[in-house]
Structure 1
Amino acid sequence: MIVRTLDECRDSERRVASETWESVRMLLKDDKMGFSFHITTIFENTETHIHYKNHLESVYCMSGEGEIEVVGGKTYPIKPGTLYILDQHDEHYLRAYKDKEMVMACVFNPPITGKETHDENGVYPLVD
């Protein structure tokens, strides 16, 4: 059994941050569960370009407000209780509104190792 708290993960190397987001990676590839689980904060009044070419992701909004814009497609509002699933490696822009920092629960398949950050194209590398 694996038991971890958000606070202990936040105070460790499992916390990775950029200018627009912070991700606390609570479950990683080396845990051998077949997926990874993160609590990610999207900072208020920011936009992040993301394109997971190597991963599928499900994201559940726990708090905050914003939107996801699929490149070449629709824009969807995000608020607490919204789940979106990037089942087609959807290239997108994720935006948190002013004064509306978003806290999201995220699941990745395949799992990430923990140190990944988005490259210049919004992609996480696939690590064997």
Structure 2
Amino acid sequence: MIVRTLAECENSERSVEGGNWKSVRMLLKDDKMGFSFNITTIRAGTETLIHYQNHLESVYCMSGNGEIETIADGKVYKIEAGTLYNLDQNDKHFLRGGTEDMMMVCVFNPPLSGREVHDENGVYPVDDAS
């Protein structure tokens, strides 16, 4: 059984700073669960280009507000506590923090290995290592 607290993960190498965001990676590839689980804070008033070409992601907003805009069709979706969105088509998008920080639960498949940050195209690299 794997048991971790958010507090202990925040004070470890599992906490990754991304400028517009901070991601606490509570479950990673080496935990061998087949997915990763993060608590990510999106800072208010920020905009981040994201394009997970190598991962599918499901995101649940626990608190705060913002929006997501899909690049392909320009659709804008409001995000607030209780909203779930799923990037099931590797959707390229802008994620914007609203008037307050958003706290998000993020699940990735395949799982993250731990220290990923977005490249200039908003992509996380794929980790092919077993």
Q: TM-score, normalised by structure 2?
A: 0.96
The match for 2:65 is: 65
- 1:97, 1:25 → 2: CA distance? 23
- 1:19, 1:34 → 2: CA distance? 27
- 1:19, 1:40 → 2: CA distance? 12
Shift in Å, 1:82: 0.2
- 2:98, 2:7 → 1: CA distance? 25
Shift in Å, 1:19: 1.4
Q: What percent of counterpart residues are identical? A: 68
Counterparts in 2 of 1:9-20, with a 5 A limit? 9-20=9-20
- 2:77, 2:105 → 1: CA distance? 18
* 1:81-106 deviation line (CA, Å, top 9, x unaligned): 000000000000000113x1000000
For structure 2, the 5+ residue unaligned runs are none
- Segments of 4+ moved more than 6 angstroms: none
- 1:84, 1:17 → 2: CA distance? 22
The match for 1:37 is: 37
The match for 2:76 is: 75
Mapped pair 1:56 → 2:75 = no
Number of residue equivalences: 127
For structure 1, the 5+ residue unaligned runs are none
Q: TM-score, normalised by structure 1?
A: 0.98
